Every structure is written in structure tokens, then in C-alpha cells.
């Protein structure tokens, strides 16, 4: 399946289980793989046969910078659901939400949630 990829989008959100996360906020990175048939767009040069990257960015921003959630899992699930609802040409999507600075002990670069959802999941 063809893909549109949006990588390394950075947002400021207030998600997490700890009160300081909900108050202070923190960075979140989002990577998206959008699966759809791009041949009609490529052959016709018609934007109506593809998905507008700016609209996808705004959808991601509204979820990640929107209402705080306890779990990054919920953020990813809400984003996948919004993408599938808003973009009718989209067959499936992979959503990766990375939390680079979670307030948990240990040495690591980040924690991330990576999910794959398709219209067949409905």
C-alpha cells in the first residue's frame, strides 16, 4: 500500500498520570504513516485524490495539544480515530507518539506508543 509519512512533528501537551505533567506539560513527538492509494493523485495531479499534509498536521496538533489524557495510549488511539474519521481516502494509519522526557526513573532516550489502525478494525 502507498503511504504518506509525516515524521517528527513536535507538540506541547499535558498528558500523564502525574499532576505536574498535567500542569507543566511536556514535549511529544508524533510520526504518522498514512496508507491510501496514491496512484490516482499521481496520475491526475489532483489534490482531491490525496490527503492534504497541512490538514493532517492540524488534526494531530488538535489531539496532542488538546484535552489532557492520563495515557499516551489514549492520545495515540484518539489520533488514529480522528484521522480515519476525517480523511475518507485513508485506508489505515500507523501512529507513533513519543514522550521524550517522562518523569520515571531510569536511563533511556524516550518511551513511545506505536499503533496501527485500519478501517477493517471498525
- Under a CB-based contact definition with an 8 Å cutoff, are residues 34 and 47 in contact? no
Helix (H) or strand (E) holding 60: helix 53-64
Domain boundaries, the chain: 3-121
Among the listed residues 39, 49, 99, 109, the single catalytic one is: 99
Given a cut of 70, whether residue 86 has pLDDT beyond it is yes
pLDDT tens, residue by residue, 3-50: 999 999 999 999 999 888 899 999 999 999 999 999 999 999 999 999
For 39-79, the pLDDT digits (tens) are: 999 999 999 999 999 999 999 999 999 999 999 999 999 99
Query: Could you tell me which residues come within 8 angstroms of residue 120 by beta carbon, excluding any fewer than 6 positions away?
Result: 92
pTM equals 0.94
Does the active-site annotation cover 99? yes
CATH topology for 3-121? Answer: GTP Cyclohydrolase I, domain 2 (3.30.1130)
Q: What is the pLDDT of residue 106?
A: 86
Query: C-alpha grid cell for residue 32?
Result: 504518522
**Residue 122 reports pLDDT greater than 70:** no
Amino acid at each position: 500500500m502507498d503511504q504518506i509519512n509525516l515524521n517528527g512533528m513536535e507538540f506541547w501537551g499535558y498528558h500523564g498520570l502525574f499532576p505536574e505533567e498535567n500542569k507543566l506539560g511536556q514535549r511529544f513527538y508524533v510520526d504518522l504513516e498514512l496508507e491510501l492509494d496514491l496512484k490516482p493523485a499521481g496520475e491526475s495531479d489532483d489534490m482531491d485524490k490525496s490527503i492534504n499534509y497541512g490538514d493532517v498536521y492540524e488534526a494531530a496538533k488538535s489531539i496532542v495539544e488538546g484535552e489532557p489524557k492520563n495515557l499516551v495510549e489514549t492520545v495515540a488511539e484518539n489520533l488514529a480515530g480522528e484521522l480515519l474519521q476525517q480523511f475518507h481516502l485513508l485506508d489505515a494509519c500507523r501512529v507513533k507518539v513519543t514522550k521524550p522526557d517522562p518523569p520515571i526513573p531510569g536511563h533511556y532516550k524516550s518511551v513511545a506508543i506505536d499503533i496501527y489502525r485500519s478501517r477493517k478494525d471498525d
